[in-house]
Amino acid sequence: MAEIRTGDTRERILDAGERLFMAHGYEGTSMRQITSEAGVNLAAVNYHFGSKEALMQEAFRRRLDWLNEERMRVLDLMEAEADGKPLKPSQIVDGFFGTLLRMAGDEKRGGVTFLRLLGRTLTEPSEFIRAFLAHEYKEVMDRYKEALFRALPDVPKAEIVWRFHFMLGATSYAIAGTDALRLVTDWQIEDEDSTDRLDRLVPRLMSFLLGGLRAPLPQFSDTTAASN
């Protein structure tokens, strides 16, 4: 005893929760759905995690910890190679968003299921989720933000922050909507099967993000200019 007994009940619950939260949202998923799908007793969630909220947080933590460490690792590597010189915007965008998207192909890291969950949850109204994600994301966000400031010294910082914002939104949608938004818009991408789709999504999204990031600066109608 006293050893960390990593029974598979925990993992089964996390897997079921991840998939159901992705499909129906946090409020729309009940503990009975989760435990039923996981094939475990109802009380198991509270025993292993303490509460439904704690389960949601743990479901994110086991994926985000790896993702953000990987993002840090990639950034460290690129900056070491750059030897003090600013990175290229394309490198930074790929380090942040490319690393995320490549998770989708790694079933061991949650695959597309987690990515869709993340995409949807970034607009999730629940207070505790937003607060949790803010804490989890703060460190890596600041690092990449700084890298972008150095890479684009002529672009006002406020503008860069906004465009990072926009890039997050486009990426979130691209992920969450791989089959959700198609329902909303009733679009159909012809000539592509589902295996192709993800491989092609990455370069498509990267082109779009970089185009937006490097777009000409906006002209405001009034006279006040944004500071740098």
Partner DNA sequence: CTTTAATTCATACGTTCGTTTTAATCATAG
Partner DNA sequence: CTATGATTAAAACGAACGTATGAATTAAAG
CB nearer DNA, residue 5 or residue 108: 5
Stretch that binds DNA, among 15-23, 48-56, 79-87, 130-138 (CB under 7 A): 48-56
Residue 101 contacts residue 205 (beta carbons within 8 Å): yes
Interface residues for DNA in 49-68 (CB under 7 A)? Answer: 51-53
Number of chain residues interacting with DNA (CB under 7 A):
23
158 interface partner picked from DNA, a second copy, none, CB below 5 to 8 A per type: a second copy
- Type of residue found at 75: L
41 binds, among DNA, a second copy, none (CB under 5 to 8 A by kind): DNA
- Pick from 212, 209, 196, 183: nearest CA to 98: 209
Q: How many CB atoms lie under 10 A from the CB of residue 10?
A: 20
Contact range with a second copy by CB under 8 A, out of 22-30, 39-47, 64-72, 74-82: 22-30
What the block records as the tokens of 169 is 């939104």
Per rule CB under 8 A, is residue 88 in the interface with a second copy? Answer: no
Q: Which is nearer to DNA, 3 or 190 (CB)?
A: 3
Specify the residue, 76 or 192, whose C-beta has the smaller distance to a second copy: 192
Tell me the closest approach of the beta carbon of residue 179 to DNA, in angstroms: 24
Burial class (CB in 10 A: 0-12, 13-18, 19+), 114: buried
Does the footprint of DNA cover residue 16 (CB under 7 A)? Answer: no
Residue among 122, 113, 103 nearest 172 (CA): 122
Stretch that binds a second copy, among 63-71, 75-83, 86-94, 170-178 (CB under 8 A): 170-178
| C-beta closer to DNA: residue 11 or 146 | 11
